Structure 1
Amino acid sequence: MAADPLADERFGHLPYDEVTVVTTADGLDLYVEIVEPDDGIDLDFGLTSPPEPTLIFVHGFCLDMGTFHFQRTALTHRGAYRMVFYDQPGHGQSSKLRQGEYTLDALGEALKRVIDETVGDGPIVLIGHSMGGMTIMALAELYPQLFTDQIRGVVFISTSAGKLDEVTFGMPDFMARFSRPLVPVITGAGRLTGGMIDALRRASTDLAQALTRRYGFGTEKPSPALVKYVEQMNAHTGTEVVARYLRAIYTHARYPALEALKQTRVLVVSGDQDKLTPPDHSAEICRILPDAEFVPVPGAGHLALLERPNVVNAALTEFLEQVD
């Protein structure tokens, strides 16, 4: 058996310059790590170079800021950008709702609070994976002017603007099993009950598995160390949090919100083997935003940014160099 090339990778242990907590309007504390750029000193003239945009990374469902491990590593080595990473509500080291359900509007408001408290009025590039991309779309719906005045670029990785209730995961039998406990969540108007949460606990086990071995990766034999790392992120997301997010994700529909991005530089990245947010979802984003750049990642699944980091990093670096 070939040795695992990522066996010694320090997943979950990356340096940062500052840790802070941002509190949302609904009282949740968001864990934030900030990486500062190298000093922009011109050795010939002693001048500080113009500030590059701050990069804010927004991770997906059942994951945390560690999803961007390889992008953070590569860009830290370049030393050109200030980077902000945070765990979305209920994920990673951020706090959880005590009652009620999570909504994408609330996630958009949380992102706005992160912007206000870590960047202020400076230029920004937003980078969202999966549900993180949906969070960015919610922000665009709530604050469209930001995408004209402050946000210089947006990167959508393995995400969707809607119709996730139609995704079959390439496996109709699995979807049938998974959908039954979702029905009262997706169609019900009231709050989650204890019985719903109990049913969803069982469904969430299938979901966590779906996000890793079979559905998270496009290759048949991904790195065992990488799979273990993703499983650890999944496991850290409690089943009650999973339950409270499901309606938000499965009823997500923000095609009109993309109109706010028509004057913003956009990069769309998708693994061509993605079964969770299939490539046609990225194609639909590009149809609405015809000036967006599209980069397919051959052989990659939903976790293309971890599975094929060289391809994703090359596209991201080139994109950032083009941002005004």
Structure 2
Amino acid sequence: MRTRRKVGIAGAVFGAASAGVAAATLAKRYAVGRIRLRPDLEAGEPFGELRGRPVTLTTSDGLQIHAEVDGVEDAPLTVVLCHGYCLSSDSWHYQRRVLRDSYRLVVWDQRCHGLSARAPASDCTIERLGEDLALVLDELVPGPCVVVGHSMGGMTIMALAERRPELFGDKIRGVSLIATSAGKLAEITLGLPALVSKVVNLAVPPAVSVMRRSGALVDRGRQAGTDLSFLALRHLAFGDSKSVSPTVVDFVESMIRATPSEVIADFYPALMSHDKLTALDVLNKVPTAIIVGEGDWLTPLDHSRAIAAAVPTAQLTTVPETSHLVQLERPDAVNEALRELLKRAERENT
């Protein structure tokens, strides 16, 4: 009798849990379905289809880096675009579409991302990314340029400033740092209450360890986009999530999904230990534009303000109701700030 009672209780608990999971799944599907039924102005946008002349570069540690040269070949100024963590050069879609008519562009996939080759974990560092950017400038930029970095791409520029300060004011005539940080990323709360944030921060390192050890298994579960990942990305990476295009969210999710789990795990420690605040003084030699979404949870506004304090000559642009992927969520605001930076760089170049 006791055994039957325990089995009955266990069955009831399991049934209730299953019903809860089923209800949550239906709710997610309903929410995503409603979102996708709304008018989507970006539905026909050719994301991932803009292409230039492909180039393969070989780094000092023997890695092949994919880059493309686009735009006006004989333009007096080249714009070099450095993408962020778990993304690719395609994340510059809107900036590339606008700038290619007036400037020479160089876009490249950072090591282990996009079409560039994988590197061992020991070479997944911000310092290595800075060296890779130096290679891109040496090989593909014959004249003056402006370098633009989003998130990890901004950190790449900081690493270059620390390693090759002589380039700034000479070859590099302007810098834009978009939604990035000079350090202390490990202290970010993601907008969560302090206690919850502490629990999340404690849980992340073991999860990263699992991704590193069992990346292939984890990736099999990531291959198909899910309603949960769509909703999470829409909430975390976009500020005005109610109005953001589902097509844009899907586009970003496809780039993240294409980044192997081992790569995500390998770069995570480098991002958490990143500290380049003392290298920023070099940027005072050139026009600098700092751009950040007001609601950025991943590289919060305070981090851009800290950069601006270290580079008092810089112009800080805060984009309201926008989060980490500001260049995709509010491309017009970002493009306007970049155009102004490029004009300043051109004036100082004459």
TM-score (norm 1): 0.86
Distance 1:263 1:214 in 2: 37
Aligned partner of 2:63 in structure 1 is 28
Aligned pairs for 1:140-289 (under 5 A) are: 140-172=161-193, 173=196, 176-182=199-205, 197-198=212-213, 212-221=233-242, 222-289=244-311
CA spacing shift, 1:195–1:273, aligned 2, 3 Å: closer
Distance 2:133 2:246 in 1: 33
Does the 8 A contact of 1:6 with 1:223 survive in 2?
yes
1:298 to 320, 332, 335: 320
4+ aligned runs moved over 6 Å, structure 1: 199-202, 208-211
1:93 to 115, 137, 141: 115
Distance 1:31 1:59 in 2: 13
More helix by share: 2
Distance 2:302 2:232 in 1: 19
Distance 1:21 1:210 in 2: 36
Distance 1:98 1:289 in 2: 34
Report which stretch shifted further, 82-91 or 174-183: 174-183
Segments of structure 1 that go 5 or more residues without pairing to the other structure are: 40-50, 186-193
Report which stretch shifted further, 165-174 or 55-64: 165-174
Deviation at 1:220, TM superposition (A): 2.3
Deviation at 1:182, TM superposition (A): 1.9
Deviation at 1:64, TM superposition (A): 0.4
Does the 8 A contact of 1:67 with 1:306 survive in 2?
yes
Aligned partner of residue 189 in structure 2, secondary structure: coil
Aligned partner of residue 39 in structure 2, secondary structure: coil
Does the 8 A contact of 2:211 with 2:261 survive in 1?
no
Deviation at 1:310, TM superposition (A): 0.8
Aligned partner of residue 338 in structure 2, secondary structure: helix
Deviation at 1:15, TM superposition (A): 3.3
Larger radius of gyration: 2
Distance 1:175 1:35 in 2: 45
How large is the Cα RMSD of the aligned pairs? 2.5
Q: Which amino acid aligns with 1:26?
A: D
Deviation at 1:149, TM superposition (A): 1.8
Q: Which amino acid aligns with 1:142?
A: R
Deviation at 1:184, TM superposition (A): 10
Does the 8 A contact of 1:64 with 1:88 survive in 2?
yes
Query: Number of paired residues?
Result: 300
Aligned partner of 2:81 in structure 1 is 57
Q: Percent identity?
A: 41
Deviation at 1:301, TM superposition (A): 0.5
Aligned partner of 2:154 in structure 1 is 133
Deviation at 1:321, TM superposition (A): 1.1
Deviation at 1:174, TM superposition (A): 5.6
Aligned partner of residue 49 in structure 2, secondary structure: coil
TM-score (norm 2): 0.80
Aligned partner of 2:126 in structure 1 is 104
Distance 1:295 1:54 in 2: 22
